[in-house]
Amino acid sequence: MSSLTPRKLLAAFFIVHVAVRPVTFAYSDNGIGFHHNAYDRGLFVQRWLGAEDFRFVPDIAYGPVHYYLVAATMAAVPDPTDATRYLSFLSSIAVFFLVAGLARRIFGAWEGAAAGLLVALHPHGIRLSVVGLDMMPYAALLLGGFYAFARFREERAAAWAALSGALFTLAAATRFEAWIVLPVAAVAAIAADRKKGARSRRARRRVSRRVDGV
């Protein structure tokens, strides 16, 4: 029998993730008794598309990105209630892998698998995966920004920096509280560059002293 590995364990937890949510989807409603806005969002978008004025955002109390994502989903799933719920479910899959990937990079492979299990079975996460709120798409965009930022810090590639900034911006245009992440990420990137530069200068000085002492 093959030995258990973090990758195999994460794959098993992913199966749990995608198995639990359709059952919850089938036996729960879209926000009645949970949050009325989950039900309203799909109807807002349906009326918005009927007006054929894509400059209009249905509800200025929230960022526009989720409404555009719902409108795109309705191209494949015309029912507005189902479209919002499917969008949340698909976003939860992205959240699963992003949380596991971040935990793996920060703590290790086994910890990444454990993080995947927590995402798969967290009751609040399960519920938010099957209602039409903006929380799961928002979490996917925000975590995607953090993941890209982590890759940028490791590889120093401009593409990862650009992707991180784009995802953080989209997250902030989904839920406005994410705007605080943009300056914090910029300060963290500058601090990391300065710290790396200081280490490089110290290393060069040590090499220079050794050469001079030979």
Q: What is the DSSP track for 6-75?
A: HHHHHHHHHHHHHHHHHHHHHTS-SSTTT-HHHHHHHHHHHHHHHHT-TT--S-TTS-SHHHHHHHHHTT
- pLDDT at position 206 is 54
134 residue type, one letter? D
Domain with 148 in it: 6-213
Q: What is the pLDDT along the chain (214 residues), one digit of tens a residue?
A: 468 899 999 999 999 999 999 898 888 877 655 566 777 888 888 888 887 666 666 566 778 899 999 999 999 999 988 999 999 999 999 999 999 999 999 999 999 999 999 999 999 999 899 998 999 999 999 999 999 998 988 888 889 989 999 999 999 999 988 888 888 877 877 776 666 555 555 545 554 555 555 5
The residue whose two tokens read 């976003």 is 91
Does residue 198 lie in a domain region? yes
Residue type, 16: V
Rounded to two decimals, the pTM is: 0.83
In a domain, 203, yes or no: yes
Tell me how far apart the alpha carbons of residues 209 and 211 are, in angstroms, rounded to a whole number.
5
- Is 70 part of a structural domain of the chain? yes
How much is the pLDDT for 1?
Answer: 45
Residue 179 in any domain: the answer is yes
**What pLDDT sits at residue 163?**
94
pLDDT number for residue 126: 93
Is 144 within the bounds of a domain?
Answer: yes
Which residue type is seen at 183?
P
| The pLDDT value given to residue 207 | 47
Neighbours of 89 (CB within 10 A): 19
Domain count, the chain: 1
**At 143, which amino acid appears?**
L
Decide if 145 is inside a domain.
Answer: yes
Within-domain flag for 1: no
Helices (H), 74-180: 80-106, 109-121, 123-128, 135-155, 158-172
Looking at the domain assignment, is residue 38 inside a domain? yes
